[in-house]
């Protein structure tokens, strides 16, 4: 290579290196400004951290690596599992361990003995229902199951059940134990203490409403407040409905005339519904509001109302 050319290239090297260093410094300044602006947007604490930390290079997390999200598994209630076991256990017998019910009971609880019952003396339950579940500790449950017989007898059994950490697997860990049934809870004072005449404006209004709702006699919509939607029971289960009692939570429910527009009341209605099979006492709690001299339904205890009417 000619000496002149070598000299020219060697002379150009320092400016090129200086330019590269200058560009690197510019990039650092731009990154520092970006970090500072981001900290200002994030708040005073982040701003202080950015100022004290000085210009640094920020590396973004790779977008192709999903962020791990951990969720705690909810404790699964094994009430249904215990119910199926007790139903099969009560219908099985050690004398017939190959019956379908015995095999089912043994598959759910391999270490639990089958009852040794006399077929002619021990009737089978009509229904078996889980009525209470209590979690003793992590994964350990005590499920109370009620067995109802055709002759009216009612027996309760408590079943120990264990569940795995995921709540996807269960096992009955011991034989059922016969226990006393749940005690009756004390009933609080009813908020409906105002007696309302069943033949007054309010009684007539709710009577017509329930006739439309339960028998299909008329349109339900005409008894609803604006914006409230409610579908009648279909097909209509009864042929006639009669109001027996009306009790209100507010004194305005017993007013002889419909009060001013916007007045709201809550009432409990006892009705008697009839069909070809007999008479049926039914009770409902509904909310009403006065408008244009009439009562309109705004909420029904069954929870079928929508658009502001649901409760």
pLDDT at position 299 over 50? yes
pLDDT tens for each residue of 197-242:
988 899 999 999 999 999 999 899 999 999 999 999 999 999 999 9
Q: Read off the pTM.
A: 0.61
Q: What is the pLDDT of residue 76?
A: 80
**Highest mean pLDDT out of 13-27, 57-71, 117-131, 279-293:** 279-293
The fraction of the chain above a pLDDT of 90, given in percent, is 58
Give residue for tokens 């973004």: 60
306 against 254, higher pLDDT: 254
Q: Average pLDDT of 285-295?
A: 96
């Amino acid at each position: 290579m000619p000496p002149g050319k070598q000299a020219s290239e060697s002379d150009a090297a320092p400016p090129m290196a200086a330019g590269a260093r200058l560009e690197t410094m510019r990039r650092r300044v731009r990154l520092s400004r970006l970090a500072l602006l981001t900290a200002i947007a994030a708040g005073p604490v982040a701003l202080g951290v950015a100022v004290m930390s000085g210009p640094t290079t920020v590396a973004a997390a790779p977008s192709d690596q999903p962020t791990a999200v951990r969720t705690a598994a909810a404790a699964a209630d094994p009430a249904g599992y215990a119910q199926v076991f007790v139903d099969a256990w009560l219908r099985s017998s050690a004398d017939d361990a190959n019956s379908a019910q015995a095999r089912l009971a043994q598959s759910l609880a391999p270490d639990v003995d089958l009852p040794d019952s006399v077929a002619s003396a021990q009737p089978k339950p009509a229904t078996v229902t889980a009525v209470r579940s209590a979690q003793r500790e992590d994964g350990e449950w005590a499920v109370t199951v009620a067995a109802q017989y055709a002759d009216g007898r009612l027996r309760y059994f408590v079943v120990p059940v264990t569940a795995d950490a995921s709540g996807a697997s269960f096992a009955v860990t011991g034989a059922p134990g016969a226990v006393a049934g749940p005690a009756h809870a004390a009933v609080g004072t009813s908020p409906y203490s105002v007696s309302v005449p069943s033949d007054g404006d309010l009684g007539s209004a709710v009577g017509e409403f329930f006739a439309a709702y339960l028998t299909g006699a008329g349109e339900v919509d005409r008894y609803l407040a604006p914006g409230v939607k409610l579908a009648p029971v279909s097909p209509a289960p009864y042929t006639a409905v009669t109001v027996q009692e009306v009790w209100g939570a507010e004194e305005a429910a017993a007013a002889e005339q419909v009060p001013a527009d916007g007045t709201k009341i809550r009432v409990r209605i006892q009705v008697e519904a009839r069909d070809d099979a007999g008479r049926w006492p039914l009770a409902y709690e509904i909310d009403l509001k006065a408008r244009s001299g009439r009562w309109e339904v705004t909420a029904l205890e069954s929870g079928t109302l929508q658009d502001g009417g649901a409760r």
